[in-house]
Amino acid sequence: MSNGILVFVEQRNGQVRKSSLEALSEARRQAPMGKELVIAVIAGENIKSLAARVSKVKPDRILVADNAGFGKYSTEAYAAVLSAAIKKENPRYVFAANTAMGKDLLARTAAKFDAPCASDVLELRPDNGNLLAVRALYSGKCRGVFEFTSPLAFMTLRPNVFALSEAENGQQSPIEDLSVTADKVRAAVAETHAAEGQKVELSEASVIVAGGRGIKGPENWPVLQNLCDVLGAALGASRAVVDSGWIDHGHQVGQTGKTVSPQLYIACGISGAIQHLAGMSSSKVIVAINKDAEAPIFKHATYGIVGDVLEVVPRLTEELRKLNSN
Amino acid sequence: MKIAVCIKAVPDTETKIQLAADRQNIDFTGVRFITSPYDEFAIEEALKLKEKHGGETTAFCLGGPEATDVLRDALARGLDSAVHVCDASFVQLDPLSTAKVLAAAIADGGFDIVLCGHQGSGTDNSLVPSMLAELLDWPQANIVVKLEVEGGSFKAEREIEGAHEIVQGSLPAVISAQKGLNEPRYPSIKGVMAARRKEIAQKDAAALGLAGKVGSAQATMKIKEMTMPADRPQGRIIDGDVDTAVKALVQLLRSEAQVV
């Protein structure tokens, strides 16, 4: 691999996104220190202090575009930053986390450079000095291995799949100012509103508790939320309950919702329609709780309990709370 | 207002996926095609924009013969005209090539806005709308759940991780739709009848000036192989009353799976 990997590190409100550091960690694994270059690029306003956190993943250098014009996200302004970094470093690959911002930015910038882009990459395979990208298709019902025949290629890496490797201490990576003026900005973020009710983001959560028809009604979400709170989990939902208006679409897991790969997925009262299974079957451990012993979800579960969600979940919450307090 | 809608025919989300013998694509034998679910929100938004601002709406679909039915369906829902973009060299295109073909079909149409689904179901790339915006040299907003268009500018609310962003920008622009943007209407009987009589315009690579320039042969992202995910190991049902089963589960999650 010549010229190494450039990684776009996403920050919002002065917080570096963990999934960006996962992408940076993977870049460092694919381009080992001393052999290949890994350069991080970050944009925002008053963000110089974030370089310390980014340094823990040991990029060779950090390019910082810090000015008032980058305080709020704009595809065109950030694409100007990323383009300037690419022209300066001439990398073989450009990585970012597969987030709303990562996809929006890398797709636009890839087209600017007439270069290909692979989104939601699950695995990278070294291949004669190049990288092959493995990505899910049909929401995970199958997978595709892709090769790039261009000198530059872009990829967004799925959160929670690539291990974060941060050094506890060590040297600060050298920082370079990236002086960019975005002259053509025709659309930009004016304001941001936090979504209601979701304390942990679904696609980045390491534990997900999801509810389906078996929770009997929207008045029972607190039963699942209590379990979420004990586990630090995000709350997910089946399409059936989203379509019934029990919960916002932002919680939907599966085809036409989010595809997730947490360490632990607890399916509560979800029967396991093919579209739902597609979105969560790459979870490491799946627990199914359903009163119908014949529900398809049990065929995919690591552990199953046949029983009423509204009886089992409160007991489970209590038992886990005891474990936490010990 | 001139509105373009990009739609795609995709395998029904109920489809049980099997691979073709060469493992370069899925086996399409017996597969039923539908309009990609997110594209339905783009179609509906186009109809709503036309109702409010007047103008005309055109659907574009890049694909093989399966595109005809989804274009007829779009016409039946009320779009004014339909363009089928089809060429033997356009099979299994990568996202960038798809965007190039769509840009060539749309660029000279004098459109004020292009609406797309934010993700094509199946290939799941979520890249084409942004690439199309860049190639047209227009601004963009993706994963949009609320859209207002007024006097040459737009205000779009888009879904991001744990929040919504309000994007403001100028037209023309590319907007990609997320579920929640609207409630797609069903085609009326009258609409279905009218759609049958409408002509679907055909455009191939030569008509778009792309022959020998854009196509599967020129694409720089190629599929090497498709695989099925590994089967999950056989799980186990934990027996016993609620209390016993829950205690056993917590024990397993802790000591065997080591996830709590």
Q: Report the alpha-carbon distance of residue B13 to residue B121 in Å, rounded.
A: 8
Q: Which two tokens stand for residue A259?
A: 């595809």
Looking at the domain assignment, is residue B135 inside a domain?
A: yes
pLDDT surpassing 70 at residue A260: yes
CB-closest option in B127, B154, B236 to A303? B236
CB contact under 8 A, A107 and B165: no
Residue B59 confidence (pLDDT): 98
Global ipTM = 0.95
Residue B150 confidence (pLDDT): 95
CB contact under 8 A, A312 and B228: no
Domain match, B127 and B69 both: yes
A245: left (phi over 0), alpha (psi -120 to 50) or beta: left
Which of A165-174, B66-75, B125-134, B158-167 has the lowest average pLDDT? A165-174
Domain match, A152 and A9 both: yes
pLDDT surpassing 80 at residue B90: yes
Residue A170 confidence (pLDDT): 78
Domain match, A156 and A237 both: no
Domain match, A224 and A276 both: yes
Q: Which residues pair with A41 in a beta bridge?
A: A8, A63
CA angle B228, B229, B233 (to 5 degrees): 130
Q: How far is B194 from chain A (nearest CA, A)?
A: 30
CATH number, domain with residue A249: 3.40.50.1220
| Residue B244 host element (H or E) | helix B242-251
Q: Give the count of domains, chain A.
A: 2
**Domain range enclosing B257:** 230-260
Indicate the pairing of strand A207-211 with strand A187-194: unpaired
Domain match, B174 and B56 both: yes
Looking at the domain assignment, is residue B222 inside a domain?
A: no
Q: Report the alpha-carbon distance of residue B247 to residue B260 in Å, rounded.
A: 13
Q: Report the alpha-carbon distance of residue B96 to residue A252 in Å, rounded.
A: 28
Residue A168 confidence (pLDDT): 84
The residues, ordered by sequence, that sit 6+ positions from B181 with a Cβ below 8 Å of its Cβ are B41, B44, B45, B144, B145, B146, B147
Residue A2 confidence (pLDDT): 63
Domain match, B240 and B140 both: no
**Domain range enclosing A152:** 5-177
CA distances (Å), A85 to each of A175, B83, B99, in order? Answer: 13, 39, 24
Residue B145 confidence (pLDDT): 96
CATH number, domain with residue A117: 3.40.50.620
Q: Report the alpha-carbon distance of residue A148 to residue A184 in Å, rounded.
A: 30
Nearest residue of A to residue B94, measured between CA atoms: A116
SS3 A266: strand
Q: What digits encode the pLDDT tens for the residues A60-111?
A: 999 999 999 999 999 999 999 999 999 999 999 999 999 999 999 999 999 9
pLDDT surpassing 60 at residue A56: yes
pLDDT surpassing 90 at residue A182: no
Q: Which residues pair with B236 in a beta bridge?
A: A303
Q: Which two tokens stand for residue A287?
A: 């627990």
Q: Are A127 and A149 in contact (CB under 8 A)?
A: no
CB-closest option in A73, A140, A146 to B229? A140
Q: Are A205 and A265 in contact (CB under 8 A)?
A: no
Domain match, B134 and B245 both: no
Domain match, B181 and B236 both: no
Instruction: Give, as one character, the DSSP assignment of residue B26.
Output: B
The residues, ordered by sequence, that sit 6+ positions from A156 with a Cβ below 8 Å of its Cβ are A23, A95, A96, A97, A98, A99, A102, A103, A106, A117, A118, A119, A120, A121
Question: How many angstroms separate the most distant Cα atoms in chain B?
Answer: 70
Q: What is the mean pLDDT of residues B91-103?
A: 97
CA distances (Å), B106 to each of A117, A284, B16, B159, B206, in order? Answer: 22, 44, 34, 26, 15
CATH number, domain with residue B162: 3.40.50.620
Q: How far is B199 from chain A (nearest CA, A)?
A: 31
CA distances (Å), B17 to each of A59, A143, B62, B121, B143, in order? Answer: 40, 11, 22, 13, 26
pLDDT surpassing 80 at residue A326: no
Domain match, B45 and B149 both: yes
Residue A203 confidence (pLDDT): 86
Domain match, A28 and A105 both: yes
The residue ranking higher by pLDDT, B29 or B162, is: B29
Domain match, B63 and B181 both: yes
SS3 A7: strand
Looking at the domain assignment, is residue A54 inside a domain?
A: yes
Q: Report the alpha-carbon distance of residue A171 to residue A52 in Å, rounded.
A: 9
Query: How many C-beta atoms surround the C-beta of residue B183 within 10 A?
Result: 8
SS3 B20: coil
Looking at the domain assignment, is residue A237 inside a domain?
A: yes
Amino acid at A178: L
Q: What digits encode the pLDDT tens for the residues B205-250?
A: 999 999 999 999 999 999 999 999 888 888 899 999 999 999 999 9
Interface test with B, best of A10, A142, A235, A298 (most B CBs within 10 A): A142
Q: Give the count of domains, chain B.
A: 2
pLDDT surpassing 70 at residue A1: no
Query: How many C-beta atoms surround the C-beta of residue A183 within 10 A?
Result: 8
Q: Are A105 and A8 in contact (CB under 8 A)?
A: yes
Interface test with A, best of B134, B175, B247 (most A CBs within 10 A): B134
Domain match, A167 and A215 both: no
**pLDDT confidence band for A195 (50 / 70 / 90):** confident
Looking at the domain assignment, is residue B106 inside a domain?
A: yes
| Residue B200 touches partner A, C-beta closer than 8 Å | no
CB contact under 8 A, B222 and A144: no
Residue A94, Cα to own-chain centre: how many angstroms?
A: 16
CA distances (Å), A263 to each of A226, A246, A282, B185, in order? Answer: 19, 26, 9, 39
Mean pLDDT of chain B: 96
pLDDT surpassing 70 at residue B172: yes
Looking at the domain assignment, is residue A260 inside a domain?
A: yes
| Residue A96 host element (H or E) | strand A93-97
Q: What is the mean pLDDT of residues A126-130?
A: 94
Residue A325 confidence (pLDDT): 86
pLDDT surpassing 90 at residue A200: no
CB contact under 8 A, B139 and A187: yes
Looking at the domain assignment, is residue B224 inside a domain?
A: no
Q: What is the mean pLDDT of residues A277-302?
A: 95
Which of A274-283, B51-60, B84-93 has the lowest average pLDDT? A274-283
The residue ranking higher by pLDDT, A195 or A264, is: A264
Looking at the domain assignment, is residue B215 inside a domain?
A: no
**pLDDT confidence band for B60 (50 / 70 / 90):** very high
CB-closest option in A142, A284, A305 to B227? A142
Domain match, B30 and B94 both: yes
CB contact under 8 A, A298 and B235: yes
Q: Report the alpha-carbon distance of residue B179 to residue A236 in Å, rounded.
A: 16
Domain match, B65 and B177 both: yes
How many percent of chain A have pLDDT more than 90?
A: 86
Domain match, A55 and A140 both: yes
CA distances (Å), B101 to each of B95, B131, B172, B209, in order? Answer: 10, 11, 19, 10
